[in-house]
Amino acid sequence: MSKLWQKNSKVATAVEKFTIGNDQAMDKYLAAYDVLGSIAHTTMLSEVGLLTKEEQVQLKAALVEIYQTIQKGDFNLEEGVEDIHSQVEMLLTAKLGDIGKKIHSARSRNDQVLVDIKLFLRAEIISLTTSVETLFKLLQEKSEAHKSDLLPGYTHLQLAMPSSFGLWLGAYAESLVDDMTMLQAAYKVVNKNPLGSAAGYGSSFPINRTRTTELLGFDTLNFNVVYAQMGRGKAERVTAMAMANIADTLSRLSMDACLFLNQNFGFISFPEELTTGSSIMPHKKNPDVFELIRSYCNRIKALPNEIMMMTTNLPSGYHRDLQLLKEHLFPAFTQLKNCIEMACLMIENMHVKKDLLEDPKYQFLFSVEEVNKLVNAGTPFRDAYKQVGLAIEAGNFTYSTQLAHTHEGSIGNLCTAQIASEMKKVLDSMEIVKVDKQIQLLLNI
């Protein structure tokens, strides 16, 4: 295998195979970001005098050409090339000769992969944000559409109090607001520039790290070069935790849907083409989509712990352990976005059963309503509670299914607009549009 860093001695084949592992496949996720980092780095090198302007122009043109090839899906690591960093440098050297060999000045593979990962995570967080926003808007839309359709509420999976489909769907919409707050925090951790930290101890070259921060659209630097290296593992862990929160919301929604579709509940239904059948039971309409969403999401919920354990007790500085963090985290973005997309498909086509609570089997859902009526008429709460309880025991409980809940966040006052406003605050604070503009500017310098 060709290694740009190799000297005279060769690495044993078994060691080479084991240490590289699945890294080539994972590097395909990073390819475009490696090129962006190199464009920013070589631009800065020319500005501080380590490259001539003419060399920088040639390198920029060649790098943009590689970037465009990657975007078209026509880019692959050649057999025998160790990683994406080597592949890009070798392509540049093949095209530009000695000029291509100059791009690694003031840089290490350590900070090169760090900036690649930061740029990748940032782009995936932005993409995930768009997916979550789509689901959020759909949940709010359906919440409003079904705000008058009552639904049994449960505690301990026992009948508790009246709820509504509007309240149920709106709850998951607001859950996504908190999930996005966590994703925003991950975005802020990720959106800091580690480039220029080299192997973790900086460089004697007169580089300008503030300039590469501007060029790549980062909010700020990881200032301390040792901490920049220590940030590897933390950025992945914080991002995984934010993803796990979204996954938890989806998993719980999916479990509700599986229960509510069950014939013993019978609260919701879906078109036949969105459910699956049985090889021997002709009546079956299985919620396979929700079951798989639940399982995918529960696996994603394990990611933060996996990353935490893999980075436990590592001292400062770079360690090869960190290479393995990519293998489960990188594909998880696509898996989570696929789950969101399928959840949207199912919710968009969900039918709810009307007038559920008119069935007498739900009569005790209204016991609290009857207690409250007595309290409003002047009966002390404890006496009202006892009076209704005795009526239930005696079998002469009477009730009305008419509700008048008006406080914030209740059946009659979902606060949909206020929740939407909270989500907007989170999304606006991320300033996602600014990043896209800066990357386009970098590609067109």
Q: What percent of the chain has pLDDT over 90?
A: 85
Q: What is the mean pLDDT of residues 56-74?
A: 96
Closest residue by Cα to residue 399 from 437, 442, 362, 433: 362
Kindly indicate the confidence band of residue 6, based on its pLDDT and cuts at 50, 70 and 90: low
The pLDDT tens digits for 375-424 are: 999 999 999 999 999 999 999 999 999 999 999 999 999 999 999 999 99
User: pTM to 2 decimals?
Assistant: 0.93
The pLDDT confidence band at residue 126, using thresholds 50, 70 and 90, is very high
> Which residues neighbour 408 within 8 Å (Cβ) at sequence distance 6 or greater?
415, 418
What are residue 2's DSSP bridge partners? Answer: 81
Q: What is the mean pLDDT of residues 265-282?
A: 91
Residue 173 has pLDDT above 70, yes or no: yes
Residue 80: per-residue pLDDT: 78
Mean pLDDT of 287-301: 97
pLDDT at residue 265 above 80? yes
Query: Do residues 193 and 209 lie in contact, with contact meaning Cβ atoms separated by under 8 Å?
Result: yes
- The 10 Å Cβ neighbour count of residue 251 is 22
> How far, in whole angstroms, is CA 229 from its chain's centroid?
23
pLDDT (average), residues 358-363: 96
Please give the domain boundaries of the chain with CATH numbers for all domains: 13-102 (1.10.275.10), 110-145+165-199+224-356 (1.20.200.10)
- What one-character-per-residue DSSP string does 246-311 give? HHHHHHHHHHHHHHHHSTTT--EE--GGGSB--SS-TT--B-HHHHHHHHHHHHHHTHHHHHHHHT
Q: Model confidence over 433-442: pLDDT tens digits?
A: 899 999 999 9
